[in-house]
Amino acid sequence: MSYLFTSESVSEGHPDKIADQISDAILDAMLAQDPDSRVACETFVTTGLVVVGGEVTTKAYVEIPEVVRETIKRIGYTKDDYKFDAESCGVMVTLHSQSPDIAQGVDEGSNKEQGAGDQGMMFGYATTETPEYMPMALAFSHRLVKELADIRKQNPGLMPYLRPDAKAQVTIEYDNNDRPRRVHTVVVSTQHDSFIQPKGEGAAAQAEADRLMLEKIRTDVIEHVVKKVIPAEMLDENTIYHINPTGKFVIGGPHGDAGLTGRKIIVDTYGGKGAHGGGAFSGKDSSKVDRSAAYAARHIAKNLVAAGISEEALVQVAYAIGVAKPVSLNVTTYGKARVDMSDAEISRVVSQLFDMRPKAIVERFGLKNPIFSLTAAYGHMGRNAYTDEVEINRVDVKENGSERHEVRRREKKQLEFFSWEKLDHVEQIKKAFGL
């Protein structure tokens, strides 16, 4: 019997995503100067105000209000009409140092390894549904909101009324064998200007102007967005479209809803497929296994599926705070394994192939580099891994008694982005499983 599954995504202009991007931009600014920075940065945004709080231990000096405003400007909140813009919003900063009780369990010493930054479980998931080994409903949702942002920034003449806030939701119909069959429903809500004014006064004239705006938006979204990013063979005459289903969507962004860091963790991961351990990513340095171990688990799952071990894989890893070695690692194949082994046997092989201690994960993926801002919108998983030369600021601090000297320098460095998406263990996995 066929069934439906739905996932959603939100644009970079969504209030929660603004908060995520600010938190990660501050993290990157600190890591650029001091790779050993410990950062747990939370952001709150609302009408005309940004509040940044949390715990930080770093040698870096960062003009946080400047980072906040540059991030908001890049997203596109640059007009007074939005009631939240980069130049005029207030910025309140309430950061303090990391608890020494936590630090003593996490820091690497002469007689111990770097421990996990917290207890908890993290999940990684992969499936053959899409080329990026991501669930189809989420992959399509990401593509929709990303295309809206690309049009707004790079081709504004196509849909000149677009504003930064947007959401998308896609429902996939599956067949009896769990194969994606078609797109059942597409939901897109995009913030927009009041680009059609009423011809006359009164509620009737306004209602007609709103109807014409919605009609134009619906046509443009289907023609210029949906049909561009969703394969034609997945759409048919029965596909249902809900475009701005509440009607007019002029008030949006932080003026429409407050935003918080870490409130879109399902959008950030697998859209409700697989599982989620509950920990957010943005604003956290890599000593926090909520982030680093989730990346490592995705890397394992993706390489397992790409190697042909299973059509679908879920990897769970769990830690105790201050302890380097995971307390458990488990692989679930949903009965779709292509090797004659139980999930428990597969898990044991995987545990031997991948070093999941926090320090090993950080080194494997280069997680002390300023690479996180790009993860904070359109998903942390399912992205293309790439290398780019980046100019960064470094700070060398020398302390002599009560004197502290800082030497700042700029350097160019080749950085790997989304390195946990690399298929660099496929051959090793095939060999270990005799494929």
Gap between the Cα atoms of 45 and 254, Å rounded: 6
Instruction: List the structure tokens of 61.
Output: 């000096």
**CA distances, 424 to each of 337, 362, 372, 375, 427 (Å):** 21, 16, 21, 20, 8
Q: What is the pLDDT of residues 273-282, one digit of tens each?
A: 999 999 999 9
Whether 12 and 75 have beta carbons less than 8 Å apart is answered as: yes
Gap between the Cα atoms of 62 and 369, Å rounded: 16
Phi, psi (degrees; rounded to nearest 5) at 399: -115, 130
Average pLDDT in the 126-135 region? 97
Gap between the Cα atoms of 244 and 255, Å rounded: 18
Specify the pTM: 0.93
Active site residues: 14, 16-17, 42, 55, 167, 249, 257-258, 263-264, 284, 288, 290
Tell me the domain boundaries of the chain: 3-10+136-251, 120-126+288-432
Check residue 393 and give its pLDDT. Answer: 73
In what helix (H) or strand (E) does residue 32 lie, and over which residues does it extend? helix 15-33
Domains 3-10+136-251 and 120-126+288-432 share a fold: yes
Which CATH number is 3-10+136-251 given?
3.30.300.10
Which residue ranges are tagged as binding site for K(+)? Answer: 42
Gap between the Cα atoms of 136 and 227, Å rounded: 16
Which residue ranges are tagged as binding site for L-methionine? Answer: 55, 98, 257, 288
Average pLDDT in the 87-99 region? 88
**CA distances, 350 to each of 106, 305, 342, 356 (Å):** 25, 13, 12, 10
Phi, psi (degrees; rounded to nearest 5) at 74: -65, -35
How would residue 108 be classed by pLDDT, with cut points 50, 70 and 90? low
Is residue 425 scored above 60 in pLDDT? yes
Average pLDDT in the 185-209 region? 93
Cα angle, residue 163 at apex, residues 48 and 157 outer, rounded to 5°: 145
Q: What is the pLDDT of residues 224-250, one digit of tens each?
A: 999 999 999 999 999 999 999 988 899
Fold of 120-126+288-432: GMP Synthetase; Chain A, domain 3 (3.30.300)
Three-state helix/strand/coil letters over 86-99 = CCCCEEEEEEECCC
Gap between the Cα atoms of 120 and 11, Å rounded: 29
For 179-202, letters b (16+ CB in 10 Å) and e give ebebbbbbbbbbbbeeebebeeee
Which residue ranges are tagged as binding site for Mg(2+)? Answer: 16
Gap between the Cα atoms of 393 and 365, Å rounded: 21
Which residue ranges are tagged as binding site? Answer: 14, 16, 42, 55, 98, 165-167, 248-249, 257, 263-264, 280, 284, 288
Is residue 105 scored above 90 in pLDDT? no
